[in-house]
Structure 1
Amino acid sequence: MKNKIVVFDLDGTLLDSQNQIIGGDHTLKYLDLLQSMGCTLAICTGRLDHDILKVQQKYQLSIKHRISQNGAVVIKENYLCSELLNKSDAFKIYEQIKKYPVRIEMNTVSNRYWTSERDPEFPKELYDSHIIKQDFEEIILCQPVVLFLIVGQTSILEDIAHMINHNYKNTQAILTSASSLEILSCQASKGLALKNNFQNDYIYAIGDSPSDFAMIEYSDCFYNVGQFENPRQAIVKPSILEALIDIYEKERTI
């Protein structure tokens, strides 16, 4: 029998905008029930790994597999695997995007680098790992760079995305919202993270946004708990709680 994996996103899926569990104690109850039935829990998020650890610690969850930075970083127990930006490409991209009127942030495996403090309206992380640097060149040289996060007007971000996707064959630029763009390795996605790490498992996946929809192709059962247009293969549920209840009922009858 295949091992059962229940993998879910954080923002908008497990956590609301105030970093509280959606569904509260009821959600935690069903996560515990699924674990007691032999299911393995995994988190797949755009946040850094430290926020998965904080969620695990705060709510006493046993998370066996931690996938962060939208699939670019995977930690399984004491093993870490990361899809990094090519250093040469990262230098060139950094020089090009600096010419645009946008905010540039850069992530390594364990830290966020900013040139200035974030707007207070930005979503708050559970663990603050940011470091202020006026220039990122030395970091690119000496650190494992995972991605650039660009914040700005949609039209400018679309121009940057076109430039990156047209000129860098190993790098992808993805609009993650109307005001944000991520530049990362073409080998990084939530879907590919599932493919590469859970090939022989039965996967229940839960998400709320287009970046989560990349998991559909590589999961056996995908639940859409967000407001975006529903992909054909997804099961629609109001929240993660209803998705977990449905998984529990399926597993209980096996």
Structure 2
Amino acid sequence: MKNKVIVFDLDGTLLDSQNQIIGGDQTLKYLNLLQNMGCTLAICTGRLDHDILKIQQKYQLSIKHRISQNGAVVIKENYLCSELLNKSDAFKIYDQIKNYPVRIEINTVSNRYWTSERDPEFPKELYDSHMIKQDFEEIILCQPVVLFLIVGQTSILEDIAKTVNKQYKQTQAILTSATSLEILSCQASKGLALKNNFQNDYIYAIGDSPSDFAMIEYSDCFYNVGQFENPRQAIVKYSILEALIDIYEKERNI
């Protein structure tokens, strides 16, 4: 029998905008029930790995596989694998975008780099790993850069995405919301992370946004718990709690 893996996103899936568990104690109850039934829990998020660790610690969850930065960074126990930005591409892209009226941030494997503090209204992380640096070119040269996060108006972000996706073969630009764009390796996605790490497992995946929909192709059962238009292969549920209850009922009746 295949090992059962339950993979879920954080923002909008497990966590609300205030970093609280959606579904509260009931969600935690079903996560623990499924763990006790032998299911493996995995988190696949756009956040950095440190926030997965904070969730694991705070709620005493056993997260065997930690997938962060939208599939670019994977940590299993003491092993880390990361799809980094091509340095040549990163230098050229930064030179192209630095004069746009947008906010540019850089993520490495373990830190966020900013040129100025974020707006207080920006969603808060559970662990603050940011550093203020003015010279992004030095960071690109010396650090393991995973991605650029660009924040700005939709029309400007769409223009940047069009340019990057047209000019670069190893690097992709993905709109992650109406006001945010990520530029990262073409080998990085939540779907590819599932493909590369759970080839012999039965996968239940839960997500709420287009970046999560990349998991559909490589999961056996995908639950859409968001407000975006539903892909054909997805099962629609109101929240992660209803998805977990459905998984529990399926596993209990096997």
TM-score where L is the length of structure 1: 0.99
Separation in 1, partners of 2:243, 2:159: 38
Q: Where does the alignment leave 5 or more consecutive residues of structure 2 unmatched?
A: none
SS of equivalent to 2:205 = strand
Separation in 1, partners of 2:45, 2:168: 25
Shift in Å, 1:159: 1.0
SS of equivalent to 1:241 = helix
Shift in Å, 1:44: 0.2
Separation in 2, partners of 1:159, 1:83: 25
Separation in 1, partners of 2:115, 2:237: 40
Separation in 2, partners of 1:250, 1:156: 45
Shift in Å, 1:46: 0.2
Shift in Å, 1:155: 1.1
The residue number in structure 1 matching 2:21 is 21
Separation in 2, partners of 1:19, 1:141: 34
Q: Quick check: 1:41 aligned with 2:41?
A: yes
Shift in Å, 1:131: 0.3
The residue number in structure 2 matching 1:90 is 90
Shift in Å, 1:3: 0.4
CA-to-aligned-CA distance 1:79-106 (integer Å, 9 cap, x gap): 1000000111111111111121111000
Shift in Å, 1:232: 0.5
Shift in Å, 1:194: 0.1
CA-to-aligned-CA distance 1:15-60 (integer Å, 9 cap, x gap): 0111000111110010000011000000000000000000000000
CA-to-aligned-CA distance 1:196-218 (integer Å, 9 cap, x gap): 00000000000000000000000
Q: Where does the alignment leave 5 or more consecutive residues of structure 1 unmatched?
A: none
Corresponding residue pairs, total: 254
State, as a whole percentage, how many aligned pairs show the same letter.
93
Shift in Å, 1:162: 0.9
Separation in 1, partners of 2:38, 2:7: 14
* Alignment root-mean-square deviation, CA: 0.5
The residue number in structure 2 matching 1:163 is 163
CA-to-aligned-CA distance 1:146-202 (integer Å, 9 cap, x gap): 000001111111111111011110000011111111000000000000000000000
TM-score where L is the length of structure 2: 0.99
SS of equivalent to 1:174 = strand
**Matching of residues 117-196 of structure 1 within 5 Å:** 117-196=117-196
SS of equivalent to 2:184 = strand
- Which deviates the most, 86-95 or 189-198? 86-95
SS of equivalent to 1:123 = coil
Shift in Å, 1:116: 0.3
SS of equivalent to 1:149 = strand
Separation in 2, partners of 1:99, 1:23: 43
Shift in Å, 1:118: 0.4
Separation in 2, partners of 1:250, 1:212: 22
Shift in Å, 1:63: 0.1
Shift in Å, 1:134: 1.1
Separation in 2, partners of 1:162, 1:99: 17
Structure 1 stretches of 4+ with a deviation exceeding 2 A read none
Separation in 1, partners of 2:60, 2:7: 16
Separation in 1, partners of 2:208, 2:73: 20
The residue number in structure 2 matching 1:228 is 228
SS of equivalent to 1:139 = helix
